[in-house]
Amino acid sequence: MRRSAWLSALALLLTSLVLGVSAAAASGATPAGPSGASGTAGPAAPSSSPPAGVQCTPAQSHGPNRTDVRASPSQGCLYPTGYKNMSPSIQVSRTGVLFIARATGGVLRSIDGGRHWSAVNVPKIANGDDHTSGVHGYVHIDPRTDRVYYLTSLAARSCGGKSGSVISWSDNLGLTWSGRTVGCDTYDWGKLVTGPAPKGNAYPSAIYFMGVGLHLVGGQRFVYRSLNAGVTWQRMDRIASATTEAGVGATAPDGTIYFDYPEFTGFDPSRLQNTTYPYVPENKCREMIAVSEDYGVTWRQQPIPGSLACGELYGQQRVAVDRAGTVYAVWVDDTDTQLYLSYSRDRARTWSTPVNVMAPGTTFSLIHGDIVADAAGHVVIAGLQTTVPTRPTSPAGFPGLYAGPAHAIITESLNADSAQPRFTTADLDTPAASSNGSITLSNGQYGDEANAYLAFSRNGVGWAVFSRKTAGSNDQGVLTAARLFPTR
């Protein structure tokens, strides 16, 4: 090996070690060695108190529907990145390195538990496509391999510049990148999830890309799958759903894939003629869960009884599955503009009675309401909620598109799968949590399409990300991570 190549390889190895050890020290995780193997049998316990200088606000403990509200020892804390952008998502590596997706260009990375952030520009891929254009940048970390994925939609040059997604990935926490262009027949809102691969597959993970097809907005959800680490992609024969913009999705430990969508036909009336999934009038506006139990080959559509969710026109992160296989869904109901939670123990076939999970002191929810799950019963929910006394109204033709003022809210439950769940909730927009007293979404302003996305760290810490203080639905806000202390 030439001296320059040897030095480059050594620099990459040393940087990987620094990233892993620094992040682990900041987050309480167990540092990983060069192979990615944990130094002990399991991750360290989460830190019980926030670091000095972090803006925090007291949390409250409560039951469903804001009942039995009590003081809590927990705090909700904000970690401003210092960067302005929109449509953020967040992920955490095995060693606690935090990543936030920018709308285009790449990701933000923190190796010290969110206190400091740096921009990582993701380079063009081998065919010349890049992330400098497009929309809705999204980040995902595969829990089996710790590979970091970043994608942008709608502007792959090799697809003509008006469709397709550019998917890049890094196996060393963002130091180097590879990638492919996928789905030239897809447009807006491409998303990616990973799950366990079919038995006997050489690579441990199945990678699923899902994008909007036929139309720029709305239409059908096409699925592409890779079983060889992204080298090649297969477009699955069967579409996953046939209605408007769907949510991110999640995979269970057994490989079952879930994502949510509202049964809304306003953007795509041809939905009424689709024969793959015949329209069921009783499901109009229902919060629907699409399910695949055969690695994306076939799908079934399950309504959540009693839900009305036509206002959820932005695909969010409304479905999650814990390590025990319990599926959770949240949605803002059209009847009262409240945020509800329901769970299923039989792969979305039947659902628990919904419970109201609004924060104490708030009145109504914007459509941004998201959920992530970890151990059995352990969920974190985040969203934007308002304290105004009058129910918000929407522009004509866009049900559920509500304007501010709105507060950033983060909620945690350790027994969300029980008949009487308890919640710990922090309103992150009190004066103590904001240096200038302003709130996440000011009066009359609309939030970014993607807001309040979530991820769990390996040691059970739930993180959220908000685009705060925007001046409109397409304005760049201050990207800010958030979490609760302690989590147990």
Q: Are 483 and 75 in contact (CB under 8 A)?
A: no
What pLDDT does residue 488 have? Answer: 60
If we measure between CA atoms, which residue out of 4, 22, 104, 23 comes closest to residue 457? Answer: 23
What pLDDT does residue 196 have? Answer: 98
Share of the chain above pLDDT 90, in %: 68
Round to whole Å and give the CA distance between 385 and 366. 6
- Domain membership of residue 199 (yes or no) is no
If we measure between CA atoms, which residue out of 223, 219, 230, 234 comes closest to residue 296? Answer: 223
Q: Count up the domains in the chain and report the number.
A: 1
If we measure between CA atoms, which residue out of 218, 160, 154, 231 comes closest to residue 186? Answer: 154
| pLDDT tens digits along 62-114 | 999 999 999 999 999 999 999 999 889 999 999 999 999 999 999 999 999 99
Segments forming the whole domain that contains residue 72: 54-89+318-331+339-488
Round to whole Å and give the CA distance between 131 and 126. 13
Round to whole Å and give the CA distance between 481 and 122. 21
What pLDDT does residue 126 have? Answer: 97
The sign of the dihedral angle between the CA atoms of 32, 49, 139, 142 is positive
- Domain membership of residue 369 (yes or no) is yes
- Domain membership of residue 362 (yes or no) is yes
Residues paired with 150 in a beta bridge: 139, 168
- Domain membership of residue 74 (yes or no) is yes
Q: Tokens 């025990």, residue?
A: 324
Which amino acid type is present at position 237?
Answer: D
Q: In what order do the strands lie in the sheet with 135-141?
A: 135-141, 148-153, 165-170, 178-182
- Domain membership of residue 36 (yes or no) is no
**Mean pLDDT across the chain, nearest whole number?**
87
- Domain membership of residue 176 (yes or no) is no
Q: Is the pLDDT at 408 greater than 70, yes or no?
A: yes
State pTM to two decimals: 0.91
If we measure between CA atoms, which residue out of 316, 255, 243, 312 comes closest to residue 280? Answer: 243
What pLDDT does residue 430 have? Answer: 75
What pLDDT does residue 107 have? Answer: 98
- Domain membership of residue 148 (yes or no) is no
- Domain membership of residue 157 (yes or no) is no
- Lowest average pLDDT, out of 176-180, 209-213, 296-300, 327-331, goes to 209-213
